[in-house]
């Protein structure tokens, strides 16, 4: 050891060490500078960027669903409300094994097979990152049991929310509609940003057509959350705004009476206030319970509804297309008058008509014949032969031109979705669709509302309303007003006037209306039984529409009871009242119920009694009916007449004071 040490040059070694130590110090300093320059880059140059990233890490924007607008009838009665409810939701993408989860949940909340089936259905349809309700209306016990065990259930949440509720159940369900879970397809169609935090969307009825107003604006909570997503505190809150309430023109009392009057029959009733186009009642039977859809309907129940032979989901009032039968006769009479038919001219009805050069017999519903008929008699007694002859003389082109003015064969544009247009045939239509020429014989059938003609009950109610108003009219609608959910400030939706049906002479209106009054007031009128004892004057027309596919000969030959139900005639009844100052126009359809006068007429009478005599808080007479006045002085200029004389026909409904669920 000592030997080595003696060789060492201690001085040189120390010198080397000094150099190396200085170099090492410089190296350390350089490394420190390298660190600092990096820190400068991160903390000064890129500070904003990293600050943003840090905020993005910790802040979660949680949408706050808006409260959906309430729906009232014209008296302030609730048609749709929101009820507080606890909902158990599952976010599918956060759950590894759905089956195992359901298994583990079953001791905690009660789950029926229906719940599970419908849940699976909705999981399949909705996006994976959105919560899917498994159970609604949890009891407090169930909520408590879940809360105790919630750490075991990742991706499961109980939310205290509001569920849509329809207090009247099936009543008016076709008009009000319902909400249901948003499907993936619907989500693609709408602006998803507007559905933050919402799981339901209007599916049919007003819930669908006024979805944008009812929905409201989502608010948002900005929440600080930790790395595991657990929310810690609220940083910011952006208020949303509840959806607007709707005040419908429906009168739920009239609606209920109408539904009851129809009884077990399938059919439809539409009652319109002719002075402003507001729909007072709109019935389609059979109905359905909209509540099923809110809670998410399972496939089995839905299939049952869909496959029900009576088609409860089908809104007959707007979607059902039927031959109008004799109910077109007043409009036909108008056409005749317009093209110069002398109302006093008489034709002889011997129960049937045979065209020259043809063997085909066109029968009148009265087999022994009506005898001599002028126009008024023909309407009153619904003589088919007279109208065969009238139609033949007018020809299809003139009939089509005149009937189109009453809106037959066209959608009315009502604010309830899925309305059908029906069909009023023309030469052009037949060539285009059937690729066939028009046969003169077909014109005769059109003249009594058969043949190709198809109308909806709504169209016939509108037809009655326009005759009642001597050509004036409004687009039918069910939404009377909307109101701000917080301030309750209403915004009336102005009725939309239609162009007046201008006749060559006001006299022609008077003649047709008189004829319709005779139907209900004169002995021998087809609705005399309905109208003669009413405390107000009814103007009406009955109709008995043959079901397509039956030959006229067969029908006449057989008695009603002997005919299979699905081939029996549809019973129609249209009316307006009081005839001198109409406040209601109505169309009643009873499917396969036989004769219009005997079946549909009494139903219409019950509805009109409720509407005109019943204790109705909304009193139409409190407001001067502007259009009724407008009719009186006939004016030359149609446009002016409408614009000037129809200033604000909407009666101001006192803002409803509903029994709010809040």
Partner 1 sequence: MIGEVLRSVRGAGSRKPEPGFSDWLETWHIDLWLLVLLCAVAALGLTVLYSASGHSEAAVMSQGRRFALGLAVMFVAAQAPPEFYRAIAPWLFAGALVLLVLVLALGDQAKGAQRWLDLGLLRFQPSEVMKLAMPMTIAAFLHMRPLPPSLFTILLTLILVGMPAALIVVQPDLGTALLLVASGGFALFFAGLQWRYILGVFGAIGAAAPIVWERLHDYQRQRILTFLDPETDPLGAGYHITQSKIAIGSGGLFGKGYMHGTQAKLDFLPEAHTDFIFAVYSEELGLMGVILLLSLYLCIVGRGLWIALRAQDTFQRLLAASLSLTFFIYVFINMGMVMGLLPVVGVPLPLVSFGGTSMVSLLAGFGMLMSIHTHRKLLAS
- Cα–Cα distances (Å) from 372 to 68, 70, 188, 327, 510, in that order, read 62, 58, 65, 21, 22
Helix (H, G, I), strand (E, B) or coil at 475: coil
Among 1, 96, 140, 437, binds partner 1 (CB under 8 A): 1
Closer by beta carbon to partner 1, 226 or else 354? 226
Interface mask toward partner 1 for 578-617; x: CB under 8 A: ----------------------------------------
Interface mask toward partner 1 for 23-62; x: CB under 8 A: -xx--xx-xx-xxx-xxx-xxx-xx-xxx-xx--xx----
* 106 given a catalytic annotation: no
Q: Work out whether strand 245-248 and strand 584-590 pair parallel, antiparallel, or are unpaired.
A: unpaired
Closer by beta carbon to partner 1, 21 or else 306? 21
- Cα–Cα distances (Å) from 238 to 157, 200, 339, in that order, read 23, 21, 66
Closer by beta carbon to partner 1, 19 or else 112? 19
Going by the DSSP 8-state scheme, the letter that residue 525 receives in this structure is S
Closer by beta carbon to partner 1, 232 or else 548? 232
Among 140, 193, 227, 557, binds partner 1 (CB under 8 A): 227
Min dist CB 8 to partner 1, Å, is 5
* 369-400 residues labelled b (16+ CB within 10 A) or e (exposed): ebeebbbbbbbbbbbbbbbbbbbbebebebbb
Q: Whole-angstrom Cα distance, residue 399 to residue 426?
A: 9
Min dist CB 25 to partner 1, Å, is 6
Identify the sign of the CA torsion 555, 560, 566, 572: positive
For position 154 contacting partner 1 by CB under 8 A, the verdict is no
Residues 391, 398: contact at Cβ < 8 Å?
Answer: no
Residues 394, 340: contact at Cβ < 8 Å?
Answer: no
Among 142, 186, 224, 484, binds partner 1 (CB under 8 A): 224
Closer by beta carbon to partner 1, 8 or else 559? 8
Q: Whole-angstrom Cα distance, residue 583 to residue 538?
A: 11
Q: Whole-angstrom Cα distance, residue 560 to residue 570?
A: 11
Helix (H, G, I), strand (E, B) or coil at 269: strand
Interface mask toward partner 1 for 171-210; x: CB under 8 A: ----------------------------------------
Interface mask toward partner 1 for 443-482; x: CB under 8 A: ----------------------------------------
* Total residue length of the chain: 662
Going by the DSSP 8-state scheme, the letter that residue 477 receives in this structure is B
For position 148 contacting partner 1 by CB under 8 A, the verdict is no
Closer by beta carbon to partner 1, 24 or else 306? 24
For position 360 contacting partner 1 by CB under 8 A, the verdict is no
User: Among the options 249, 326, 376, 402, which is catalytic?
Assistant: 326
Min dist CB 235 to partner 1, Å, is 11
Residues in binding contact with partner 1, number by CB under 8 A: 42
Phi then psi dihedrals of residue 149, to 5 deg: -105, 15
- Cα–Cα distances (Å) from 595 to 65, 75, 420, in that order, read 52, 34, 25
Contact stretch for partner 1 (CB under 8 A) within 225-233, 261-269, 364-372, 464-472: 225-233
For position 225 contacting partner 1 by CB under 8 A, the verdict is yes
Interface mask toward partner 1 for 231-270; x: CB under 8 A: -x--------------------------------------
Min dist CB 52 to partner 1, Å, is 8
Q: Whole-angstrom Cα distance, residue 387 to residue 581?
A: 28
Nearest 10 degrees: Cα torsion 123, 127, 131, 137:
-50
Q: Give, rounded to a whole angstrom, the gap between the first and last alpha carbons of the chain.
A: 99
Ramachandran category for residue 493: left, alpha or beta (phi over 0 → left; psi -120 to 50 → alpha): beta
Min dist CB 42 to partner 1, Å, is 4
Min dist CB 496 to partner 1, Å, is 57
Closer by beta carbon to partner 1, 13 or else 342? 13
For position 228 contacting partner 1 by CB under 8 A, the verdict is yes
Structural tokens at position 188: 């693609």
Q: Which residues bind partner 1 (CB under 8 A)?
A: 1, 4-5, 7-9, 13, 16-18, 20-21, 24-25, 28-29, 31-32, 34-36, 38-40, 42-44, 46-47, 49-51, 53-54, 57-58, 224-228, 232
Looking at the annotation, which residues are catalytic? Answer: 326
């Amino acid at each position: 050891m000592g030997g080595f040490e003696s060789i060492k040059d201690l001085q040189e070694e120390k010198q080397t060490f000094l150099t190396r130590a200085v170099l090492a110090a410089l190296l350390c300093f350089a490394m420190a500078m390298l660190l600092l320059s990096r820190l400068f880059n991160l903390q000064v140059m890129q500070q904003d960027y990293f600050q943003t990233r840090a905020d993005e890490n910790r802040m979660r924007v949680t949408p706050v669903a808006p409260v959906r607008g309430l729906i009232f009838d014209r008296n302030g009665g609730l048609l749709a409300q929101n009820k507080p409810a606890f909902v158990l939701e599952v976010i599918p993408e956060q759950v590894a094994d759905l089956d195992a989860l359901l298994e583990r949940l079953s001791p905690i909340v009660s789950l029926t097979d229906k719940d599970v089936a419908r849940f699976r259905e909705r999981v399949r349809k909705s996006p994976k990152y959105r919560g899917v309700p498994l159970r609604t209306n949890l009891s407090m016990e169930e909520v408590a049991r879940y809360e105790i065990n919630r750490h075991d259930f990742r991706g499961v949440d109980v939310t205290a929310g509001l569920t849509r509720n329809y207090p009247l159940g099936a009543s008016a369900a076709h008009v009000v509609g319902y909400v249901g879970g948003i499907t993936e397809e619907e989500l693609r169609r709408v602006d998803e940003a507007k559905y933050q935090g919402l799981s339901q969307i209007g599916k049919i009825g007003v819930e669908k057509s006024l979805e944008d107003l009812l929905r409201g604006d989502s608010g948002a909570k900005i929440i600080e959350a930790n790395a595991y997503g657990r929310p810690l505190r609220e940083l910011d809150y952006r208020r949303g705004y509840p959806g607007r309430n709707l005040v419908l023109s429906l009168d739920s009392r009239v609606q209920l009476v109408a539904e009851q009057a129809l009884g077990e029959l399938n059919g439809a009733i539409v009652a319109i206030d002719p002075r402003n186009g507001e729909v007072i009642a709109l019935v389609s039977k059979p109905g359905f319970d909209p509540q099923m859809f809110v809670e998410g309907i399972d496939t089995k129940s839905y299939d049952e509804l869909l496959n029900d032979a009576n088609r409860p989901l089908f809104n007959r009032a707007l979607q059902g297309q039927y031959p109008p039968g004799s109910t077109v006769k007043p409009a036909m009479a108008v056409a005749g008058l317009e093209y110069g038919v002398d109302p006093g001219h008489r034709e002889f009805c011997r129960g049937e008509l045979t065209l020259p050069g043809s063997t085909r017999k066109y029968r009148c519903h009265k087999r022994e014949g009506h005898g001599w008929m002028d126009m008024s008699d023909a309407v009153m007694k619904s003589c088919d032969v007279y109208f065969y002859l009238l139609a033949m003389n007018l020809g299809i082109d003139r009939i089509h031109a005149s009937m189109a003015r009453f809106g037959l064969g066209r959608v009315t544009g009502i604010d309830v979705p899925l309305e059908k247009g029906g069909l009023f045939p023309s030469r052009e239509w037949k060539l285009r669709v059937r690729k066939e020429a028009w046969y003169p014989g077909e014109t005769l059938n059109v003249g009594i509302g058969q043949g190709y003609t198809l109308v909806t009950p709504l169209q016939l109610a509108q037809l009655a309303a326009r005759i009642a108003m001597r050509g004036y009219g409004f687009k039918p609608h069910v939404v009377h007003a909307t109101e701000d959910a917080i301030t309750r400030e209403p915004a009336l939706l102005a009725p939309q006037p239609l162009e007046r049906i201008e006749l060559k002479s006001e006299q022609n209106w008077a003649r047709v209306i008189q004829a319709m009054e005779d139907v209900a007031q004169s002995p021998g009128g087809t609705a005399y039984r309905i109208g003669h004892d009413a405390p107000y004057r009814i103007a009406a027309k009955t109709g008995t529409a043959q079901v397509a596919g039956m030959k006229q000969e067969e029908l006449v030959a057989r008695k009603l009871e002997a005919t299979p139900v699905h081939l029996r005639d549809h019973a129609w009844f249209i009316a307006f009242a009081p005839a001198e100052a109409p406040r209601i126009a109505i169309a009643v359809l009873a499917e396969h119920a036989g004769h219009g006068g005997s079946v549909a007429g009494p139903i219409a009478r019950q509805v009109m009694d409720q509407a005109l005599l019943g204790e109705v808080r909304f009193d139409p007479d409190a407001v001067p009916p502007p259009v009724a006045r407008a009719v009186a002085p006939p004016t030359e200029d149609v446009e002016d007449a409408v614009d000037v004389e129809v200033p604000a026909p909407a009666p101001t409904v006192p803002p409803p004071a509903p029994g709010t669920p809040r």
